[in-house]
């Protein structure tokens, strides 16, 4: 065990059992998976992406590029979890990703031998033959990260919404001070912290505030904030996206760390949407590593991470630690380790002439300091065993000849700090390159936010506190001013060694990108930072280059003779850290994915054997099954019932729009291809509606109830859009028209009685409306009552039979339905579903908008060319009907397709051009509707065919993936061609 | 044999409403209550009232249908508060920063703005 006595904030009284790669381990409450594995002496926790080199724990936070695990077992599985941020819990099961059989002994590590082949752009260059499709399953198995769970996630997730005056992201010294200063001025404050504990960098340091250990100050501030009613603190919540108008999203881990079997009811995660008047970004900074050959061996770690494992978890990452740096901060690590009794093998610093106090303290502690030296390599097969150092001259960026081997099992490296500017950049803020710290810092703000502390490039504690207090009345916490020696820019260096050829310096550990790959990309002219990023995969995927970005830009700059600001940086895009799909979808899945509309009479339908399916957002009967019947049998029975007797259909989803006002007729006349002005009160007319491109948007029947009052029907599911369409024109284009448009679709139920006996059924209950053939002809409308209930009856038909559509206020719908079924029993009244309706209308050649038409169909294509031309007044889309494309003679138009035998045509089959009997062939049309006609006993279909009208009698060949079929082109009407039955 | 009806289902994004829009009737609301309706101040070519449009040239009509400015900077747009009061209105939005500089009711004159989006006195 590498646990340190008297160190760490873990609870040593509570032991927690967990497993990694099938082996069982124990940790303490408060451990992350990384700290617990480290305490158990596990060094190899994963394998690298491409070469499958052994990888160890590299960091202690969200920047981790190596220690990535698959968490949990199906169905509670989560891929690509960072071992450095996930807290252990009893019974936790984890395994390494992209390895087989496990991280310690990985069979794919043979890839490392062929590394000279696996360079940047390797996938693009290599897997061309026979095709990427052939290679991708093989490559994905070897080069993947986590495994996507195969089963549905049974966990709960929630969305949370909050409006606040001030949102503070990050509860380090700056964030805490800012929270206090805003809270005392009475503002509503929300403080988000991605960690379990408040304190940020103070948790892994020995800073002093107000002459006390800084963590005592943190605890005091936390107590103060928690007492205030206007402050909300949410921990384990990572702000991951910053959008317009100060909207910040955050993902909070709530129950993800609890054991499932305890029957926990908390959601696994919450996804927050926070709208803040002001946002304070106090997200701190992330340390970047130095780039040197073989810097990916387990044991090479970030310097501050080493410190954090000691202070927070009481675990030492190694027994003999060497520190490699170009700045002062790593000296603090050296001192902390030394004082914790861990052997420090020395500090290798690229700089010379060091004056600062922290350096003097390290020297006084008896730790060797190798100034003007750099680490140029590491040794050790399964982890660092030794490091090689060499003298370094910063002037010419050259190495001296001397070599020295230092034994160590950990190399703690620090290449400086990069402010976490992701949220600032996402908010639209601009960045500028700061030469002193060699990092991008916020410059111009574009929303109401500000960056403070390390996120603003202010790295010393005393300055952070001062910046956080600003000019508020808050009392400034006292910290000691520090003088630091400046950082020395150090990116990579020529080794000047024959072994150079084989030594690789890792820049992006997640994607196995080495400095060699960057030079190669530059040679191949991938010099734009956006191209370069995609070609090499640097800074992509989970870690988004948190540790690799600046190093990669600097090396790309070196390779192309540009300074970092000239290279520029890629735009930071949300999310800052990965967000689970579960958190984003929250409760909007399954039945709650989209609103589902149900019929008022649904109980009756269910009791009578209805099979229900979703049609355009409405759950409607497909057909009604009787005992022992199959669906096709039921549909045929229902069709026969309508043709021979009478059928009853719940047609309620039919769109119904009320249009009234003195200008109602004039208004509607501008929408329909058909003439509205000439329609007499009590009459109805079928109409087509176009968009400005002249193509068919919708069809329906418009009826005139009174001089200034129209009742318009639209396709089912189209009512909302048509109402919006009416409103757009009414409000935006013709505001002076005196007309009111109301969507009544869900307010009225519609019962359709269809069949030769329809009038006989209706006559039994209708009293004050004369429904005789003479006084209530086809395409007319009557308003009246049925047994005291108000109705609007429209005589129309989508079946080709005598038909009545009875509209009734929705609450009367089930009762009227039952009444009609009762009085219809003598006539064998049969409820029928949507599929029977579709067969009936296909037999008649009635088009169904969206099935038979598409977004290129104009009226002439479906037989309404004459009507459209005849109407002289302007209407929407009319001018487009005179474009050359609308007038050309070879347009596709509606035809009927007759088939011999009993196999119906397949919808979507294409009609091959004349002279071809095999695909590939030019396509001249397609099948849009198809069924077997129960009345005729053979298959019929509708389709669109080029020059269709002049091709009657032709035989055509059809093709789809299931094979070839043949058909004869006929008129698009198969049943009752004279159309006498609707007038019956 | 199974019929498949082609269904255009409008899926609302539940994940992230981003901008806020000031409805002239209801006040500030989240973006997902609104629908964008294309560029504003496009005049529909007509021959006057309900008269037939044959004298509108192909060029003029094609320009009305297809030639829309794709502005980088301040664009005039038509929006509707569809999950609210249902009213259409116009606004001036910066297509780069997404900042909405002004909102005005349908029929109101288009305010003159400087390139930065500030209101401009017509006498300047
Ligand atoms: Zn509104």
Residue A131 lies in a domain: yes
A494 pLDDT higher than 80: no
The reply to whether A755 and A609 lie within a common domain is yes
Ligand 1 centroid – CA B107 distance (Å)? 16
Contact A878 B17 (CB under 8 A): no
Residue B10: which pLDDT band, with cuts at 50, 70 and 90? very low
Which of A245, A632, A880 shows the shortest C-beta gap to B20?
A: A245
Determine the distance in angstroms separating the CA of A616 from the nearest CA of chain B, rounded to an integer: 5
Structural domain boundaries in chain B: 10-41+73-105
Determine contact: B106 vs chain A, CB below 8 A: yes
Q: Ligand 1 centroid vs A271 CA: distance in angstroms?
A: 27
pLDDT, one tens digit per residue, over A420-462 is: 999 999 999 999 999 999 999 999 999 999 999 999 999 999 9
Do residues A639 and A767 both lie within one domain?
yes
Structural contact between residues A258 and A278, judged by C-beta atoms closer than 8 angstroms: no
Per-residue pLDDT at A967: 96
pLDDT digit string (tens) for A371-423? 999 999 999 988 999 999 999 998 888 888 899 999 999 999 999 999 999 99
pLDDT at B121: 60
The whole-number pLDDT of residue A115 equals 63
**Which residue(s) pair with A940 in the sheet?**
A898, A931
Residue A897 lies in a domain: yes
Out of A495-504, A719-728, B43-52, which region has the weakest mean confidence (pLDDT)? A495-504
Q: Which of A524, A550, A567 is the last residue of a domain?
A: A567
CA–CA gap between residue A355 and residue B72 (Å, rounded):
53
| pLDDT grade for A499, boundaries at 50, 70 and 90 | low
* SS3 readout for A406-466: EECCEEEEECCEEECCHHHHHCCCCEEEECCCCEEEECCCCCCEEECHHHHCCCCHHHHHH
Question: Rounded to whole angstroms, how far apart are CA atoms A807 and A813?
Answer: 9
Regarding whether A511 and A451 lie in a shared domain, the answer is no
Residue of chain A with shortest Cα separation from B21: A245
Count CB-CB contacts under 10 A for residue A494.
9
Residue A54's SS3 state is strand
**A732 and A624 both lie in a single domain:** no
Claim to verify: residue A30 and residue A178 sit in the same structural domain: no
What is the C-alpha to C-alpha distance for residues A195 and A237, in angstroms, rounded to an integer?
A: 7
Q: Looking at A97-111, A620-634, A723-737, A759-773, which range is the least confident one?
A: A97-111
**The pLDDT of residue A973 is above 70:** yes
Other Cβ atoms less than 10 A from the Cβ of A292: the count is: 29
Report pLDDT digits (tens) over A202-228.
999 999 999 999 999 999 999 999 999
Q: Measured between alpha carbons, how far is A152 from A445 in angstroms, rounded to an integer?
A: 42
Residues in chain A with CB shorter than 8 Å from the CB of B116 are: none
| Share of residues in chain A with pLDDT > 90 (%) | 80
CB distance A492 to A518 below 8 Å: no
Query: Which pLDDT does position A503 carry in this prediction?
Result: 66
CA of B83 to the centre of ligand 1 (A): 8
pLDDT score for A125: 66
In the CATH hierarchy, which top-level class contains the domain B10-41+73-105?
alpha beta
A875 in a structural domain: no
Taking CB atoms and an 8 Å cutoff, what residues of chain B touch A729?
none
Take residue A63 and report the two structure tokens written for it: 């920047």
In this model, does residue A98 exceed pLDDT 80?
no
Would the pLDDT of A136 be above 90? no
Mean pLDDT, range B88-105, rounded to an integer: 92
The pLDDT score that the predictor gives to residue A102 is 79
Q: Which residue of A has its CA nearest to B82?
A: A724
Dihedral sign computed on CA atoms, order A491, A494, A497, A502? positive
pLDDT at residue A130 in the model: 66
At A876, the pLDDT band (50, 70, 90 cuts) reads very high
Closest by CA position to A844, among listed A779, A798, A895: A798
- Kindly report the length of chain A: 984
Angle formed by the axes of helices A303-313 and A329-339, to 10°? Answer: 40
Q: Residues with Cβ < 8 Å from A339, sequence gap 6 or more?
A: none
Q: A908: which chain B residues are within 8 Å (Cβ-Cβ)?
A: none
Angstroms from A866 CA to nearest CA on chain B: 16
DSSP three-state, residue A274: strand
CA A868 vs. chain centroid, Å, equals: 44
> How far B90 CA lies from chain A's nearest CA (Å)?
10
Mutation for testing the B interface, residue in A160, A163, A245, A273 having most B CBs under 10 Å: A245
Q: What is the per-residue pLDDT for B17?
A: 53
Cα gap A296→A403, rounded to integer Å: 20
* pLDDT tens-digit map of A702-739: 999 999 999 999 998 889 999 999 999 999 999 999 99
Two structure tokens written together for A165: 């005056």
Whether A638 and A775 map to the same domain: the answer is: yes
In chain A, the N- to C-terminal Cα span, in Å, equals 94
Do A691 and A782 belong to one domain?
no
Q: What is the pLDDT of residues A529-586, one digit of tens each?
A: 989 988 988 888 788 889 999 999 999 999 999 999 999 888 788 999 999 999 999 9
Q: What is the pLDDT of residues A921-938, one digit of tens each?
A: 999 999 999 999 999 999
* Rounded Cα distance, A781 and A796, in Å: 9
Average pLDDT of span B98-106 = 92
Whether A744 shows a pLDDT value over 70: the answer reads yes
> Mean pLDDT throughout A641-655?
97
In a domain, A575, yes or no: no
Rounded Cα distance between A592 and A590, Å, is: 5
Confidence label for B1 from pLDDT (cuts 50, 70 and 90) = very low
> In this complex, which of B2, B54, B86 lies closest to A727 when CB atoms are compared?
B86
Q: In whole angstroms, what is the distance from residue B39 CA to residue B77 CA?
A: 4
Please state, as a whole number, how many other Cβ atoms lie within 10 Å of the Cβ of residue A907. 20
Higher pLDDT, A595 or A346: A346
A166 CA from centroid of ligand 1 (Å): 27
Cα B33 to Cα B30: distance, rounded to the nearest angstrom = 6
Interval A601-626 mean pLDDT: 95
Cα(A460)–Cα(A614) distance, rounded to whole angstroms? 62
A393 and A428 share one domain: no
- Per residue in A884-921, pLDDT (tens digit) is 999 999 999 999 999 988 899 999 999 999 999 898 99
Q: Which of A474, A476, A432 is nearest to A451 (CA)?
A: A432
Task: CATH number of the domain at A122, please.
Answer: 3.10.20.440
Which pLDDT tens digit goes with each residue over A792-843? 999 999 999 999 999 999 999 999 999 999 999 999 999 999 999 999 999 9
pLDDT at residue A143, rounded to an integer: 60
Considering the domain boundaries, does residue A444 fall inside one?
Answer: yes
Q: Which chain B residues contact residue A851 at CB under 8 A?
A: 5-6
Work out the average pLDDT over A599-614: 96
The per-residue pLDDT for A70 is 93
Tell me whether B57 touches chain A (CB under 8 Å).
Answer: no
Are A538 and A670 within one domain?
A: no
Distance B87 CA to ligand 1 centre (A): 6
Q: Is A146 helix (H, G, I), strand (E, B) or coil?
A: coil
Across residues A95-104, what is the average pLDDT? 80
Q: Kindly state the DSSP code that residue A949 receives in the 8-state scheme.
A: G
Q: What does the alpha-carbon distance between residue A888 and residue A896 come to, in Å, rounded to a whole number?
A: 21
In a domain, A844, yes or no: no
Cα separation, A939 vs A236, in Å, equals 63
Q: Does B52 touch chain A (CB under 8 A)?
A: yes
CB atoms within 10 A of CB A770: 11
Residues A168 and A135 in one domain: no
The pairing of beta strand A189-192 with beta strand A92-96: unpaired
Which residues from chain B sit within 8 angstroms of residue A247, using beta carbons?
16-18, 20
Cβ–Cβ under 8 Å, residues A500 and A111: no
Q: What is the pLDDT of residues A46-83, one digit of tens each?
A: 988 888 889 999 999 999 999 999 998 888 888 999 99
Terminal-residue alpha carbon distance, chain B = 72
- Look at residue A263 in the predicted model and tell me its pLDDT: 58
* Residue in B15, B22, B54, B76 to test binding to A, most A beta-carbons within 10 Å: B15
Based on the fold, state whether residues A649 and A674 are members of the same structural domain.
no
Confidence of residue B124 (pLDDT cuts 50, 70, 90): very low
Structure token pair of residue A21:
């790669």
**pLDDT tens profile B12-28:** 344 445 889 999 999 99
The dihedral built from the CA positions of residue A507, A508, A509 and A512, taken in this order, carries a sign that is negative
Q: Does B17 touch chain A (CB under 8 A)?
A: yes
Question: In chain A, what residues touch B18 (CB-CB under 8 Å)?
Answer: 243-245, 247
- A825-to-A648, A752, A764, A829 alpha-carbon distances in Å: 11, 16, 11, 6
Domain interval for residue A828: 597-654+747-832
What mean pLDDT do residues A135-146 have? 67
pLDDT reading at A361 higher than 50: yes
CATH number for the domain harbouring residue A299: 3.50.50.60
Pairing of strands A46-47, A23-29: unpaired
Query: Exposed, middle or buried: residue A413 (CB in 10 Å: 0-12, 13-18, 19+)?
Result: buried
Average of per-residue pLDDT values in chain A: 92
In a shared domain, residues A751 and A726: no
Percentage of chain A beyond pLDDT 70 is 95
| A574 Cα to the center of ligand 1, angstroms | 30
What whole-number distance in Å separates Cα of residue B117 and Cα of residue B98?
12
The residues in A 261-280 lying below 8 A from B, measured between CB atoms, are 273, 275
Of B20, B39, B41, B92, the C-alpha closest to A245 is B20
CATH number of A516's domain: 1.10.10
Q: Read off the pLDDT band of B5 (50, 70, 90).
A: very low
Whether the pLDDT of residue A124 is over 90: the answer is: no
More confident residue, A123 or A640: A640
Q: What is the reported pTM?
A: 0.88
CA dihedral (A769, A771, A777, A778) positive or negative:
positive
Whether the predicted pLDDT of B8 surpasses 80: no
Whether chain B has a CB inside 8 Å of the CB on A585: the answer is yes
The DSSP H or E segment spanning A869 is: helix A865-870
Which residues in chain A have their CB less than 8 angstroms from residue B62's CB? 883
Contacts of residue B51 in chain A, CB cutoff 8 Å?
A: 873-874
Q: How many domains does chain A have?
A: 7
Position A792 in a domain: yes
- Ion ligand 1: residues, CB within 5 A, are B 23, 25-26, 81, 84-85
Contact A273 B6 (CB under 8 A): no
């Amino acid at each position: 065990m590498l646990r340190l006595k008297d160190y760490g904030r873990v609870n040593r009284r509570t032991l927690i059992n967990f497993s990694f790669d099938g082996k069982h381990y124990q940790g303490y409450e408060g451990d992350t998976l990384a700290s617990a594995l480290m305490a158990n002496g596990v060094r190899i926790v994963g394998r690298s992406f491409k070469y499958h080199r052994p990888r160890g724990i590299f960091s202690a936070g969200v920047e981790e590029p190596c220690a990535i695990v698959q968490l949990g077992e199906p169905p509670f599985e989560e891929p690509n979890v960072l071992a450095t941020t996930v807290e252990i819990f009893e019974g936790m099961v984890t395994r390494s990703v992209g390895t087989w059989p496990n991280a310690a002994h990985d069979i794919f590590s043979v890839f490392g031998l062929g590394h000279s082949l696996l360079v940047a752009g390797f996938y693009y260059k290599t897997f061309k033959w026979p095709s990427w499709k052939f290679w991708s399953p093989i490559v994905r198995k070897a080069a993947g990260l986590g495994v996507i769970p195969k089963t549905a996630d049974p966990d709960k997730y929630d969305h949370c919404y909050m409006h606040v005056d001030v949102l503070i992201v990050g509860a380090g010294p700056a964030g805490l001070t800012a929270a206090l200063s805003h809270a005392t001025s009475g503002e509503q404050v929300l403080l988000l912290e991605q960690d379990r504990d408040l304190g940020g960098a103070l948790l892994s340091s020995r800073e002093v505030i107000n002459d006390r250990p800084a963590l005592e100050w943190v605890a005091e501030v936390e107590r103060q904030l928690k007492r205030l009613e206007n402050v909300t603190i949410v921990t384990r919540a990572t702000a991951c996206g910053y959008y317009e108008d100060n909207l910040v999203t955050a993902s909070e881990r709530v129950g993800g760390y609890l054991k499932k079997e305890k029957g926990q009811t908390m959601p696994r995660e919450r996804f927050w949407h926070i709208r803040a008047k002001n946002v304070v970004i106090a997200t701190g900074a992330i340390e970047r590593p130095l780039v040197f050959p073989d810097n990916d061996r387990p044991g090479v770690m970030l310097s501050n991470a080493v410190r954090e494992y000691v202070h927070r978890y009481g675990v030492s990452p190694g027994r003999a630690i060497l520190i490699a740096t170009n700045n002062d901060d790593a000296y603090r690590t050296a001192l902390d380790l030394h004082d914790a009794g861990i052997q420090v093998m020395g500090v290798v610093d690229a700089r010379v002439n060091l004056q600062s106090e922290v350096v003097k303290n390290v020297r006084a502690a008896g730790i060797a300091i190798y100034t003007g030296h750099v680490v140029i390599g590491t040794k050790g097969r399964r982890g660092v065993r030794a490091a090689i150092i060499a003298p370094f001259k910063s002037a010419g960026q050259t190495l001296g000849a001397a070599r020295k081997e230092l034994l160590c099992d950990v190399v703690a490296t620090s290449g400086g700090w990069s402010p976490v500017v992701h949220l600032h950049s996402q908010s639209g803020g601009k960045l500028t390159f700061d030469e002193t710290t060699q990092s991008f810092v916020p410059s111009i703000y574009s929303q109401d936010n500000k960056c403070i502390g390390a996120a603003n490039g202010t790295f010393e504690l005393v300055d952070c506190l001062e910046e956080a207090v600003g000019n508020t009345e808050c009392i400034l916490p006292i910290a000691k001013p520090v003088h630091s020696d400046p950082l020395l820019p150090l990116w990579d260096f020529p080794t000047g060694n024959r072994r150079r050829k084989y030594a690789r310096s890792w820049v992006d550990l997640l994607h196995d990108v080495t400095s060699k790959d960057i030079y190669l990309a530059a040679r191949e002219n991938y010099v734009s930072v956006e191209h370069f990023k995609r070609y090499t995969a640097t800074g992509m995927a989970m870690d988004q280059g948190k540790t690799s970005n600046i190093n990669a830009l600097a090396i790309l700059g070196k390779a192309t003779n540009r300074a970092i600001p000239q290279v520029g940086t890629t735009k930071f895009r949300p999310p800052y850290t990965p967000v689970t799909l579960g958190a984003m979808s929250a409760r909007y899945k399954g039945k709650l994915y989209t609103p589902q509309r149900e019929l008022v009479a649904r109980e009756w339908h269910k009791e009578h054997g209805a099979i229900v399916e979703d049609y355009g957002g409405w759950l409607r009967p497909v057909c009604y099954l009787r005992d022992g019947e199959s669906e096709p049998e039921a549909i045929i029975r229902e069709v026969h019932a309508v043709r021979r007797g009478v059928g009853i259909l719940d047609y309620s989803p039919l769109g119904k729009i009320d249009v009234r006002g003195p200008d109602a007729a004039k208004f509607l006349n501008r929408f329909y291809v058909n003439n509205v002005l000439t329609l007499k009160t009590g009459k109805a007319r079928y109409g087509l509606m176009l968009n400005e491109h002249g193509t068919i948007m919708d069809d329906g029947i418009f009826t005139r109830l009174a001089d200034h009052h129209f009742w318009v029907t639209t396709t089912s599911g189209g009512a909302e859009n048509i109402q919006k369409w009416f409103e757009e024109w009414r409000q935006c284009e013709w505001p002076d028209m005196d007309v009111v448009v109301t969507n009544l679709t869900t307010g009225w139920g519609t019962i359709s009685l269809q069949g030769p006996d329809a009038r006989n059924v209706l006559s039994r209950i209708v009293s004050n409306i004369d429904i005789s053939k003479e006084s209530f002809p086809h395409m007319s409308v009557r308003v009246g009552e049925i047994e005291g209930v108000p109705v609007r009856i429209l005589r129309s038909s989508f079946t080709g039979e005598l038909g009545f559509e009875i509209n009734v206020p929705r609450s009367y719908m089930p009762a009227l339905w039952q009444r009609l079924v009762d009085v219809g029993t003598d006539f064998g009244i049969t409820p029928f579903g949507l599929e029977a309706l579709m067969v009936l209308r296909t037999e008649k050649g009635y088009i169904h908008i969206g099935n038979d038409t598409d977004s290129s169909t104009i009226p002439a294509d479906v037989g309404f060319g004459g009507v459209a031309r005849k109407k002289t007044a302007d209407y929407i889309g009319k001018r487009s009907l005179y474009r050359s494309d609308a007038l050309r003679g070879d347009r596709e138009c509606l035809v009927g397709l007759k088939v011999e035998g009993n196999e119906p045509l397949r919808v979507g089959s294409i009609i091959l051009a004349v002279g071809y009997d095999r695909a590939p062939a030019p396509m001249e049309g397609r099948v849009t509707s198809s069924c077997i006609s129960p009345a005729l006993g053979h298959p019929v279909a509708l389709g669109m065919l080029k020059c269709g009208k002049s091709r009657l009698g032709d035989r055509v060949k059809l093709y789809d993936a299931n094979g070839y079929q043949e058909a004869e082109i006929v008129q698009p009407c198969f049943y009752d061609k004279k159309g006498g039955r609707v007038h019956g | 044999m199974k019929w498949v009806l082609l269904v255009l289902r409008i899926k609302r994004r539940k994940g992230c409403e981003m901008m806020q829009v000031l409805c002239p009737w209801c006040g500030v609301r989240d973006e997902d209550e609104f629908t964008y309706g294309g560029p504003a101040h496009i005049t529909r070519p007509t021959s006057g009232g309900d008269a037939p449009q044959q004298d509108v040239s192909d060029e003029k009509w094609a320009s009305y249908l297809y030639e829309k400015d794709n502005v980088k900077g301040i664009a005039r747009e038509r929006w509707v508060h569809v999950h609210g009061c249902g009213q259409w209105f116009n606004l001036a939005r910066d297509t780069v920063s997404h900042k909405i500089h002004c909102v005005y009711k349908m029929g109101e004159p288009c305010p003159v703005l400087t390139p930065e989006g500030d209101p401009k006195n017509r006498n300047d």
